[in-house]
Amino acid sequence: MRYNAIDLFAGCGGVSEGLHQAGFNVIAAIELNRNASRAYSANHKECKMFNEDIRKLDAEKIRKVLKEQPLHLLSGCPPCQGFSSMRRLNRKQEVNDGRNDLVLEYLRFVRELKPLTIMMENVPALGEYSLFKEVLSELDKMGYNPKCHIVNVANYGVAQRRKRFIMVGSLIGNLDIAKGNDHMVTVRDVIFGLENVNITTDVIHKVYPKHIPRIQKMISLIPKNGGSRKSLPPEYLLECHKKQGVGFNDVYGRLRWDNVSSTITGGCLNPSKGRFLHPEENRCITAREAALLQSFPRNYIFPIDIPKTELALLIGNALPPEFSRIQGTNIYKHLEKYCK
């Protein structure tokens, strides 16, 4: 039996890709961003995509897609910009951002659709967000017995350091968060041996930034396999990096072949945003390499008619599919146990 799932705030499809690999029938998804929804639909043609503002979407439209079938899993990742550590500058208080209230939309759909199980993923700071604590209390009152934990996806077979907050719950029995297997997948495992960017036929592998000669020379001087800007001769240090106590030491850093990558963020196609230089070649990682480090399949489709900055956001904002697959497999086994 294939169990039905719905993906709220679906982005370009990282969660749904993992759930599909776990055996779920993802029948509907909601995503406001047009380019993200295009990427999603290109890869999940069987799924009904609602490219709409979830705050204006009547749950009755989703019920029509369900066609009176049970909803086994409702998954969602409400936008997290207001309570991300970068936005809060590492302070404890949350930023007053209207998108923070979208956690209430997740709760609304749980109430109206009554899924048998639930899953939510977000930044670690979500667990301290006052409104989320209220949502958690309501889910508990509804009988979901939600479990929450902060995990690192590197412990789940993803070649990347990335701490995430995960919540699961069930109406039909005790459901725990899937544990990682602690099998480290490295940058080498994922992107070593890819064809040269100059001869590839993969248009996504051709997408990476080109630099002015001085920056290109600076990149060439950064030591291979994990080097950083700290090794540069003084004349190649950027003015903003010469000041004492300047943070963000990973900018213009190279990835290491035999370790996981740094977090693939929405700035992953800009080496001034983090450690996103190729371990060996004198360039930033490509969009395809970033997607592979996120654990997307090699043939995953992304729009090619959008700016690099938007493509980077689609990839960097996604939940790694492999992490979703492991959590989805755990939930699938739970459903098999209780749905006789």
Tens of each residue's pLDDT in the chain, 340 residues: 789 999 999 999 999 999 999 999 999 999 999 999 999 999 999 999 999 999 999 999 999 999 999 999 999 999 866 554 444 445 455 444 455 689 999 999 999 999 999 999 999 999 888 889 999 999 999 999 999 999 999 999 999 999 999 999 999 999 999 999 878 999 999 999 999 999 999 999 999 999 999 999 999 999 999 998 887 877 766 666 555 555 556 789 999 999 999 999 999 999 999 999 999 999 999 999 999 999 999 999 999 999 999 999 999 999 999 999 999 999 999 999 988 6
| Residue entry with tokens 């899924």 | 115
Distance CA 325, CA 333 (A): 12
Which is nearest to 285 in space by CA: 190, 169, 183? 190
Q: Which is the CATH superfamily of the domain at 4-183+319-338? A: Vaccinia Virus protein VP39 (3.40.50.150)
Give which of 261, 313, 263 is closest to 287, Cα–Cα.
313
**How far from each other are the two terminal CA atoms of the chain, in whole angstroms?**
11
What are the extents of the domains in the chain? Answer: 4-183+319-338, 187-316
Which long-range contacts (C-beta less than 8 Å, at least 24 apart) are formed by 25-28? 27/65, 27/66, 28/62, 28/65, 28/66
Contact 181, 190 (CB under 8 A): no
Question: Residue 159 contacts by C-beta under 8 Å, 6 or more apart in sequence?
Answer: 185, 186, 187, 189, 190, 260, 261, 292, 293, 295
Fill in the DSSP letter of residue 116: S
Single-letter amino acid code for the residue at 224 = K
Give the right CATH number for 187-316 from 3.40.190, 3.90.105, 3.40.50, 3.90.120: 3.90.120
Catalytic residues: 80
